[in-house]
Amino acid sequence: MDNAVSIKGLRKGYKGFTLDNVTFDVPRGYIMGLIGPNGAGKTTIVKLIMNLIRRDAGEVRVFGLDNLRHEAEIKSRIGFVYDVPRFPEDLRLKTIASALAVFYDKWDEARFQGLLEEFRLPPRQVFKKLSHGMKMKFSLALALAHDADLILMDEPTAGLDPVFRFELLNKLRALIQDERKTVLFSSHITTDLEKVADFVTFIHQGRIVFSAAKDEVLEHWGVVRAKSEGLRPEDVPGARGHRRTEHSLDVLTSDLAAARSRLGEQAVCDQASLEDIMFFISKGNARA
Amino acid sequence: MKIIISNSSPDPIYEQVTRQIKAQIINGGLREGESLPSIRRLAQDLQISVITTKRAYEELEKEGFIDTVEGKGSFVAIQNKELLREKKMKIVEEKMAAAVDEARLLGITRAELEEMLGLLYGEKV
């Protein structure tokens, strides 16, 4: 499988936060979600891919090319959507678009017009008059109009209502009907990823917890719930974190099948959602 | 082809897809040689991951229900009539096994069960 993005040993240190030894691949033709709580390092990774901040160590390859040496070529093939789109406030949408269009070889004006219509964006509107959701749509329309091979988005669904989130996710799914297109987006809204992602990379405190096909994650990870007395977290195969409630001891496991066969009689064993995984790893008593 | 995905089912989604396609092939809803939607198209239609539909098609191919031709897509395989019958028999057998298990749990005797079967078949006992 060839990769649209390949990251090896990536490191970036800040005061009080270090992104360390981040390694994962984004296979071409698929949607990958970068998931993790706020402050986990998602935005840092996105910015490092775009070379908006300088990396301390490691390697980032986009379309097989080093992202520093081939920056211009790579960026012309990426559609980047910020969490909060920023464009000159007083310019009309069509003015912004025609200013940007010159930077892209593959700009498709007809397609752009079609997208404006589809997203119900008035071309003569000035940017600052748009709602957050419309700004997001405009940003996405720009990315799609230059026929980007990689759509890279940082928290695109944050602050959007469910109807538009649904619309956006469908647009992404439609995009990868073309198997040369790839989507990488970060989000802390796990249900969006559960719906649309083919692969999920989970990051916590600057480190990768796992990077795998979503189906596999949902198949293998589980939550075991047992009456508190008698069961210890370490009795659960594949335990990755736990919490105690008034009623039960809940343990996150990455080996649901083993947990089921050992504890199926005395405990409730359910599949874990991405939200469960995020919760237990970041808030429960996690074990690496 | 009609497929309905349940998000609350304990069965993995790829299995729900394979099971429903198989059923439609066996009951004739999908005919020999008929083309199936592409992996990516089906994923979009069902709003599930491409990986899921890919796995479903791979399973169906392994079991001989469909053929995939590079660059052309996937088709309902030409079925060996006897094999198809065998597959159908196996489904009936599985259902009967489930009924027997249930009957044992409830203490229903073999004679009672046979009587039920007779009634269901529309025979006078």
pLDDT in tens, A206-228: 999 999 999 999 989 999 999 87
Q: State yes or no: pLDDT of A288 exceeds 50.
A: no
Q: What CATH number should be reported for the domain holding residue A204?
A: 3.40.50.300
Which spans in chain A are helix H? Answer: 42-49, 71-76, 93-101, 109-118, 132-145, 162-175, 190-196, 214-220, 256-263, 274-282
Query: Which pTM does this prediction carry?
Result: 0.83
Number of domains, chain A? 2
Residues A259 and A253 sit within 8 Å (Cβ to Cβ):
yes
Contact A215 B44 (CB under 8 A): no
Q: Which two tokens stand for residue A104?
A: 């892209």
Q: Of A214, A243, A259, at which residue does a domain stop?
A: A214
- A192: three-class secondary structure by DSSP: helix
Query: Chain B residue with minimal CA distance to A271?
Result: B10
Domain boundary among A214, A238, A260: A214
As a whole number, mean pLDDT of residues A74-97 equals 90
> In this complex, do A214 and B43 lie within 8 Å of one another by their Cβ atoms?
no
* pLDDT of amino acid A149: 95
Asked if A81 and A144 sit in the same domain, the reply is yes
What is the average pLDDT score of chain B?
Answer: 88
**A5-14, A45-54, A84-93: lowest mean pLDDT where?**
A84-93
The residue out of A197, A214, A231 marking a domain boundary is: A214
What DSSP string runs through A218-279? HHH-EEEEEESTT--GGGSTTEEEEEE-SSEEEEEES-HHHHHHHHTTTSEEEEPPHHHHHH
Q: Which of A174, A179, A215 sits opposite B49 (nearest CB)?
A: A215
Q: Both A201 and A226 in a single domain?
A: no
Whether A159 and A231 map to the same domain: the answer is: no
Give the pLDDT score at A284.
Answer: 63
Q: What is the pLDDT of residue A158?
A: 81
| A239 falls within a domain | yes
Domain ranges of chain B: 13-76, 81-120
The boundaries of the domain holding residue A231 are 221-282
Q: What is the pLDDT of residue A231?
A: 83
Q: Which of B12, B14, B40 sits opposite A176 (nearest CB)?
A: B40
Contact B50 A195 (CB under 8 A): no
Pairwise CA distance, residues A3 & A157, whole Å: 25
The CATH number of B13-76, from 1.10.10.10, 3.40.50.300, 3.40.50.720, 3.40.50.261, is 1.10.10.10
Same domain, A116 and A163: yes
Min Cα–Cα distance to chain A from B103, Å: 23
Please tell me whether residues A150 and A27 are part of one structural domain: yes
Q: Are residues A118 and A240 in the same domain?
A: no
| A120 and A226 housed in the same domain | no
Q: Which residues of B touch A199 (CB under 8 A)?
A: 51
Q: What is the pLDDT of residues A22-35, one digit of tens each?
A: 999 999 999 999 99
| Same domain membership, residue A274 and residue A147 | no
The nearest CA of chain A is from the CA of B5 a distance in Å of 12
The predicted-structure confidence for A119-163, as pLDDT tens digits, reads as follows 899 999 999 999 888 898 899 899 999 999 999 999 888 878 888
Q: What CATH number is given to the structural domain containing A269?
A: 3.30.70
- The minimum CA-CA distance between A239 and chain B, rounded to whole Å, is 21
Contact between residue A151 and residue A81 where contact means Cβ atoms under 8 Å apart: yes
Mean pLDDT for the stretch of residues B94-113: 91
In the predicted model, what is the mean pLDDT of chain A?
91
Q: Are residues A103 and A228 in the same domain?
A: no
Whole-angstrom distance, CA of residue B64 vs CA of residue B26: 12
Tokens in use for A169? 């996710």
What are A64-83's pLDDT values in tens digits? Answer: 999 999 999 999 999 998 88
Q: Tell whether the model's pLDDT for residue A86 goes beyond 90.
A: no
pLDDT of A275 higher than 80: yes
Residues A209, A244 share a domain: no
CB contact under 8 A, A215 and B50: no
This complex has an ipTM of 0.76
Same domain for A185 and A89? yes
- Out of A176, A196, A215, the one facing B14 most closely (by C-beta) is A215
| Residue A288, in any domain of the structure | no
In a domain, A287, yes or no: no
Together in a domain, A168 and A232: no
